[in-house]
Structure 1
Amino acid sequence: MQRFFHSVANHAAALLMKLLFGYSSQIHVITRERANCVGGFLLAANHISHFDPFIISSVVRRKIDWMTMAEFFRFRFFRFLLRAVDAFPADRHHADRKTIRTAIERLKSGHVVGLFPEGGIRDGARSLLQGAPLRPGAATLAHIAAVPIVPCVIVGSDRLYSAKRWLPLRRTPIWIAFGNPIPPLPELPKLEARKQIEAHLAAAFENLYAEVREKFRLTVDDLPHSPQERMKKSALNENDVGIAEISSNVGLFRERARRSAIRRFSANAVDSVICTSMNLLQSRHRLHARSREEMQRYLAECEKLTAHEYYAAPSNGDLAGAIGNGTSVTWPSPIETKFPVNNIARADLFRSARGWSAPTIFILHALMSATHIGYRRLAARLNELGWNACFVHLPFHYSRVPRGYWNGELAITADLIRNAEGLRQGVMEVRQLMAALHERNCHEFGLLGTSYGGWIGALLAVVERDFRFVALMAPIVNVEHAIWENPAAWFMRRELRRANIESSLVARHFHLSSPMHNQPLCDPARILFVAGEFDLITRPEHIEAIHQKWRGSELLRVPQGHFGYRMMRDTITRLKARAL
């Protein structure tokens, strides 16, 4: 029970930190992967503000057990919170055997232990970034526990001491860099090893600091200042804006800030609630002892295939006739699963007055979509514009939900093979529909995909060229992030790690399942990406990245989170402006 409590507390704290600093800061990270290696290691960082451990934890995938000032543990409330997230006390003034023993035990158990070798908040000449001496604790711990040290430099967090930095729309830039792991040198005597480790660590801090300054062209104001200096600075000096200009624009700024803050807060609240619900549902699905072995066999077969081979859809000669004049069509799925009800593909058909010779839009719904009523209304609007509409029941959704499960519950779980085969089902079934509609004299197609449906839509764009437009709303495009960093997938990550399924193994399927690792077959100019500015699940920067990679595509930003109705409305408006 205690272990479960700590797990829940850590995940809740991680989500809260992502929300808080996602709202207040714009965090730039260099070589994040160095802090996500396996096994125990010591994470040593410079210390310029009380926000540092929280910010660093928010960008590192693994949980960090922080060595925390013993003074904080004197207060019952803080002590409860700190112990809940596995922090432990450290006396800054003398060596504490209990602290050392705790740190070594956790490091040897494979945990990440975080500490600040400066022993407190430092800036200027007192900072190790400018050559100040290190305290010997980090090197000693690393040598005794035989674990590496990963150096970390953080710059910019000290500006959060200014209250004005927490105003909406400010998003204070913060820069973080991780260095290469420094080995513990177990073959050397203790004193010699400690001396060399400290020298390597000091050099790493100075090099990382120089790299951050050069890469991001930091100004003097960006560099570390004491908390007292930051708190004294006025907003006028920080922004270098004249008093007259502020007076004339303050009303407009306040109104925009208020609206943006409300939108961000409500979007983050909705996303967080849905993420929690998804994690609770995923907790019903566990992996077993053979999961890794099955995954390896599956990947060995998949690695031989290209995306076109993997998603090749067998012809279905009866499907064109089945479409006929009906309002829905069902047919055997080309992929057979152990759930019979999921093996029957279905699409609801909405014909315009022109019949099947008119262009047809495929509507691919979101994961665990609550209702199809909104999609039916959308289909009616498309009919008015002269388009046919085809609402596809994606795998494990709507008519394809096995008894005892929620809508879409089985589409995304820790069972990555089932996830991949579900995506494959979705792509192949739409391709079969397209082939059947070709036989019905329909030769123009459009696609509206949301979230999970957008993921399938992006994969369709990789293997199909016959699209007049492809509108992808908050699609899952960065599969690595979706699995290993997404707040909706923390239980999935827990199961994968328990089954020893690591990220490098999963990455062997990205050439088939990750849109970011592919290029579209259809003209990129026909593709519209739509990003939610406050999206916690499909980060807007990932949509921006694939927009840049799929050169010629268009990007539309909408002020909402992952879940909401404005995105569809704005997308349709944009498509109409493009004359569909």
Structure 2
Amino acid sequence: MNEQRAHLAPPRSDRVPGAPRYLLYSPLRPLARFLIRRRYAVRVHGGGQVPPTGPVIYASNHVGVIDGPLLAIFGPRPAHALTKVEMFRGLLGRFLWWSGQIPLDRFHTDPRAVKTCLRALRSGRAIGIYPEGSRGPGDLERFHRGAAYLALVSGAPVVPVTMLGSREPGGTSGSLPRRGAAIDMIFGEVWRTDAVPWPRTREQVEKASLLLREHMLVQLDRARASTGRELPGPLPPTDVDPDPATGVTDEGAP
């Protein structure tokens, strides 16, 4: 299926504007790497796991406020990351849009965000998604269905990403690591599923989500073992980022 035909498959992605690419592919990206490495020791592991061409879905755990910028700047391929719509306000919002990020309404069905992601994937680009939804322990206990759904629609491979060190133990959801801290980004073994034609059922999406979660848990354990590092633990009890009560767990849908 060529690109134009792919955009016409349901859900159609030819009627939404594509997320901008300029800042993702500009000289600012290597400059940003240089500047960040003056503050943190960012170490990228397993970058060769990422397919060099074609659609790719980065699926990452989410522990700290800088996870998104780190993935956008240090990922082997630039990614259009789903970002909560609350961030798209004022100058920051304009910067996020022009840097290729995709606004997502987490509390309501958001077909525009889905179609914008599919437009990027069907054009052979990479997208980034955080199945946990909001920042937290990074242990994948909470796991939303979006990554698996996009893989089922597009057939794009999913590359698990484990972030370690982007938030220190006891830190809040908005805290930064101390200057000079080591941050590890581990790209794990690719997970693949065949594209499923429309209409896709809730049961198909849930089964794929559970399989993807199990795969990511294995990659998380491998990342911890290979680096000798641990997750930062839970956020302080008073630090609560609202998140929809949806997703899959060991017991299935809540």
Is 1:165 aligned to residue 178 of structure 2? Answer: yes
Is 1:178 aligned to residue 187 of structure 2? Answer: yes
Tell me what 2:38 maps to.
Answer: 23
The correspondence of residues 440-455 of structure 1 with structure 2, limited to 5 A, is none
Q: Secondary structure at the match of 1:165?
A: coil
Q: Secondary structure at the match of 1:157?
A: coil
Distance apart, 1:224 and its partner CA:
2.0
Equivalent residue letter for 2:216: F
CA contact (8 A) 2:81 2:127 kept: yes
CA contact (8 A) 2:159 2:188 kept: yes
Equivalent residue letter for 2:160: P
Distance apart, 1:25 and its partner CA:
1.7
The correspondence of residues 144-163 of structure 1 with structure 2, limited to 5 A, is 144-159=153-168
The correspondence of residues 507-526 of structure 1 with structure 2, limited to 5 A, is none
Alignment match of 1:102 (pick from 116, 120, 126): 116
CA contact (8 A) 1:175 1:212 kept: no
Equivalent residue letter for 1:40: P
Q: Secondary structure at the match of 2:43?
A: strand
Q: Secondary structure at the match of 1:114?
A: strand
Task: Count residues in correspondence.
Answer: 214
1:357-408 CA-partner distances (Å, limit 9, x unpaired): xxxxxxxxxxxxxxxxxxxxxxxxxxxxxxxxxxxxxxxxxxxxxxxxxxxx
Alignment match of 1:65 (pick from 74, 80, 93): 80
Distance apart, 1:114 and its partner CA:
0.6
Q: Secondary structure at the match of 2:124?
A: coil
Q: Secondary structure at the match of 2:83?
A: strand
Tell me what 2:71 maps to.
Answer: 56
1:109-149 CA-partner distances (Å, limit 9, x unpaired): 1111111111110217xx40xxx141111111111122121
Identity of aligned residues (%): 23
Tell me what 1:341 maps to.
Answer: none
Structure 2: gaps (5+ residues): 1-17, 240-254
Alignment match of 2:209 (pick from 198, 202, 214): 198
In structure 2, what is the Cα distance between the partners aligned to 1:162 and 1:137? 26
RMSD, matched Cα: 2.8
Tell me what 1:528 maps to.
Answer: none
Q: Secondary structure at the match of 1:194?
A: helix
CA separation of 1:148/1:196 partners in 2, compared to 1, >3 Å: closer, same or farther? farther
In structure 2, what is the Cα distance between the partners aligned to 1:30 and 1:70? 30
In structure 1, what is the Cα distance between the partners aligned to 2:104 and 2:224? 31
In structure 2, what is the Cα distance between the partners aligned to 1:9 and 1:215? 30
CA contact (8 A) 2:72 2:81 kept: no
Q: Secondary structure at the match of 1:190?
A: coil
Structure 1: gaps (5+ residues): 232-580
Alignment match of 2:102 (pick from 81, 85, 88): 88
Name the structure, 1 or 2, with higher relative contact order (CA <8 Å, separation 6+).
2
Alignment match of 2:224 (pick from 213, 217, 221): 213
CA separation of 1:163/1:110 partners in 2, compared to 1, >3 Å: closer, same or farther? closer
1:486-532 CA-partner distances (Å, limit 9, x unpaired): xxxxxxxxxxxxxxxxxxxxxxxxxxxxxxxxxxxxxxxxxxxxxxx
Determine which structure has more spread, i.e. the larger CA radius of gyration.
Answer: 1
Distance apart, 1:34 and its partner CA:
1.5
Tell me what 1:142 maps to.
Answer: 151
CA contact (8 A) 2:57 2:128 kept: yes
Equivalent residue letter for 1:178: F
In structure 1, what is the Cα distance between the partners aligned to 2:60 and 2:177? 26
CA contact (8 A) 1:45 1:151 kept: yes
Distance apart, 1:186 and its partner CA:
2.3
TM-score (norm 1): 0.34
Tell me what 2:242 maps to.
Answer: none
Distance apart, 1:65 and its partner CA:
0.6
In structure 2, what is the Cα distance between the partners aligned to 1:121 and 1:13? 26
In structure 2, what is the Cα distance between the partners aligned to 1:76 and 1:93? 21
Distance apart, 1:40 and its partner CA:
0.9
Distance apart, 1:60 and its partner CA:
1.8
Equivalent residue letter for 2:223: V
Identify, as 1 or 2, the structure richer in helix: 1
